[in-house]
Amino acid sequence: MIVWCSYLLADWVADFCLGQLSNSMDDSSSSSNVIIAFWAPFLILHLGGPDTITAYSMEDNELWARHFLGLGYELIVAFYVFIRSLPNTRLLTPTLLIFIVAVIKYIERSYSLYKASTEGFLKSISSFEREVPTNDLNDLNHAFWLYSVCKPFFINAVPSSEVYVKFKDHVFNMSAEEVLKTTTMELSYAYDELYTKAVVNHSKNGYILRLFCSICILLSFLFFFIDSKDGFDKLDVVITYFLLAASLCLDALATIMLVFSNWMVVSLLNVKRLSKWSMLLANHIVKIKKAWHKKMYRSLEMPQLSLLNSCLKNYTINEAPRQRMMNWIAEKLGLVQKIKLRLRWRKDFETYTLWALQPAQTSQGLMNIIASYAERCLPLLLEDFNKPVGFSFLQQKIAWAFPTFFELLEGLSLDQQILIWHMTTEFCIHWPESLHPIHHHQIEIEVDESRSRGIMKNSPEMEACKYLSNYMMHMVLMRPNMMFTMRGRSPMVFWDAFDDMVQFIYRNVDVHHLLLPNAKVKVCREIMTTPIEWTNEQSLFVTARALAHLMLTIGDEERWHVLTMIWVELLMKGANSSRADVHVKQLSKGGELLTSIWLFNKHAGIDDVFFTQEYMMGDKLEIVKQLLLKIEHHLQEHNQI
């Protein structure tokens, strides 16, 4: 919000300040007029903006012409202020130097906006000709070549056939882990090209202009420093020194960032003359970057949303004034989202709150798990992308449940699959390992307190399932535009399941039990052991319960292997169902895991958009009954009941 407001107010503040400077000047050629005229170009320099941001959104890039025309107005006003200070030429040289730098910076920003616009981006694609990098100094040059080939994907286009053949051959020789790591770097290059001055700065002319501007700012500071301050107001002198010092510091910081950027390394590695020296310099830059940043590349965002957590939060006793105040603050900070929902079992509208969990960051371990399972998913996805999720992997573990299991998942939309597997994963995570739910009528189940409190050490696959499940649930509900699956009906699918679970908790769980540390375990126990009421209205909820029963017949280690495979496959299908422009816009808000997987799919050759018809969930109830009967029969055969 702060960045957005600052971006929008920048032009207005500059115009306002230029107007105030003009009004504060008198008709004489006094020293105060001279120093005010010296301040005017600093405002244009400010409008040139920092190198790290030129646009806040993609729409800003398309308005590059209007931005460039704005320069004319700013120059006219600044030049008018300068003319009114004449014939006093006391600070003429430093003023002209800052004027030159300001105009260059402003033109750089306008040109960067043009290069990132649709027209400029297309021209940069058509002019691309580059050989496959052969040096193995680091991954930066390699990733930049792959990004240069993949640029058409960002505008829903396809690379030229000749270049694309080389690209495919090159990618097929890489492991999934290497490709996934490379996509993160490619997205970094894409962000720099679309939202910063990187393309303009990292060119031959850009380097020359950077050196020229730095020299001009330094000379302007020196000229003002050696000039006599007689006749100047002391406060005006202090303000001027502050403006010059700030400009020097910002320029020095920008130069350091320029030298130690990935683009500089790529530029040095592709210098044909003095290649030995440029490669040596690039090597030293990479070493310094690694010493300064232990982690060379930033983590990707994984927002979290748990259906079970939101249901429990809504039924926790929260009538105390302090709790109501904390809820209000959380809502204003955007940590929660309140909704009004007309439940089927109540006549009035009920207000509920979606409680977002602590946002997660992708770790190296999680990315390795995703890459490992994605590599195993790829052959099956390339063979038949529309197979039901988990069909190929579960058939090896529970052949006795087929074809009923296949019929249960056949034809479900991606939204429905994500929601069902999200609830299934929640039930499996919070279910005690010692007993299958079907035993509830024979033995009292002992809840493992350490498991419910998170003390027990979970397997990496279990942790991956939890994070991916909550992440995909967040994407379906909070960002349905990033997964074009049911044409805007994702929230409706969620609210139906939310209604079912809230209704179940309301009827079967004592509200005071929800305050206990092991509340999730107790609720899951009730959900899994309470006899199912066979109504068409609860089929999503019932289907998830049936799948959880089914998954609990598999060994603990194998269960999480299968669920991880399912979630990685869902992640890949969700990414493949999204549009390129959505991911391009998302880059301005930070790295997103789904965007990285989308680009991974493009590298792997999964290009077909995934759509399935929506089934009426009521049609699945008879299949659920058959599946539960098969589970009970299977357990009886193995003497588990």
* Residue 297 banded pLDDT, cuts 50, 70, 90: low
SS3 342: strand
**Which residues have a Cβ under 8 Å from the Cβ of 19 and sit 6 or more positions away?**
77
User: Poorest-confidence range of 102-111, 432-441, 512-521, 525-534?
Assistant: 432-441
Q: Exposed, middle or buried by CB within 10 Å (0-12, 13-18, 19+), for 50?
A: middle
* Residue 345 banded pLDDT, cuts 50, 70, 90: very low
* Residue 279 banded pLDDT, cuts 50, 70, 90: confident
Q: Exposed, middle or buried by CB within 10 Å (0-12, 13-18, 19+), for 550?
A: buried
SS3 sequence of 230-296: CCCCHHHHHHHHHHHHHHHHHHHHHHHHHHCCHHHHHHHHCCCCCHHHHHHHHHHHHHHHHHHCCCC
Which residue's entry shows tokens 């809840």? 447
Kindly tell me if the per-residue pLDDT of 163 is higher than 90: no
- Residues of the chain above pLDDT 90, percent: 25
Q: What is the pTM of this model?
A: 0.84
Distances in Å between the Cα of 574 and the Cα atoms of 186, 415, 416, 608, 620 are 20, 9, 12, 12, 23
Q: Contact 286/140 with Cβ under 8 angstroms?
A: yes
Distances in Å between the Cα of 459 and the Cα atoms of 366, 394, 456, 506 are 12, 20, 10, 33
Nearest to 69 by CA among 114, 9, 116: 114
Other CB atoms within 10 Å distance of the CB of residue 583: 22
Strand pairing category for 336-342 and 301-302: unpaired
Q: Which helix (H) or strand (E) holds 337?
A: strand 336-342
Which residue's entry shows tokens 């439940």? 343
Kindly report, residue by residue over 147-157, the tens digit of the pLDDT.
Answer: 998 899 998 88
Strands (E), 174-244: none
- For residue 467, the model assigns a pLDDT of 93
What is the Cα–Cα distance from 393 to 384, expressed in whole angstroms? 14
Kindly report, residue by residue over 87-102, the tens digit of the pLDDT.
Answer: 777 888 999 999 999 9
Amino acid at 339: I
Greater confidence (416 vs 512) lies with: 416
Average pLDDT over residues 275-280: 82
- For residue 359, the model assigns a pLDDT of 67
- For residue 11, the model assigns a pLDDT of 74
